Amino acid sequence: MIISVRCFTCGKIVGNTWEAYLGLLQVVYAEGSDALDALGLKRYCCWCMLFAHVDLIEKLLNYTPLEKEIREMYDAQTLVFKNCCSKVHGLKLCRSCLVRDFIF
């Protein structure tokens, strides 16, 4: 998710090099080892911290949690179900609309 601040083996600070490492890979260097040398990381344990890191936070931010969808469908002050048929149900929270729109 988020890169560790320090190397697990030697304790060197590597957390501040992640963004610079990604920038060097995109612009200047084709290989990761050259980019790590340019950043001043000489030990293999520090290299492994950056090579093995998977940045999942960007991928997880693409998914919407269920609570946000429920908040959008309900009006918090009046508990009105927005997708409900007003003629039949009178804009009240009804079981038939819940069953129709939410399949748990």
The predicted-structure confidence for 23-32, as pLDDT tens digits, reads as follows 888 888 878 8
Percent with pLDDT over 90 in the chain: 7
Which residues, listed in sequence order, are joined to residue 89 by a DSSP beta bridge?
Answer: none
- Fold exhibited by the domain 15-60: Arc Repressor Mutant, subunit A (1.10.10)
The secondary structure of 33-75 as a DSSP string is HHHHHHHT--SHHHHHHHHS----HHHHTTSPPHHHHHHHHEE
Collapse the DSSP code of 80 into the 3-class scheme (helix H, G, I; strand E, B; otherwise coil) and give the result.
Answer: strand
Cα separation, 10 vs 34, whole angstroms? 21
Collapse the DSSP code of 83 into the 3-class scheme (helix H, G, I; strand E, B; otherwise coil) and give the result.
Answer: coil
pLDDT for 72: 62
Collapse the DSSP code of 19 into the 3-class scheme (helix H, G, I; strand E, B; otherwise coil) and give the result.
Answer: helix
**Domain residue ranges of the chain, discontinuous segments joined by +:** 15-60, 66-101
Q: Which residue has the higher pLDDT, 94 or 37?
A: 37
The predicted-structure confidence for 9-19, as pLDDT tens digits, reads as follows 999 999 888 88
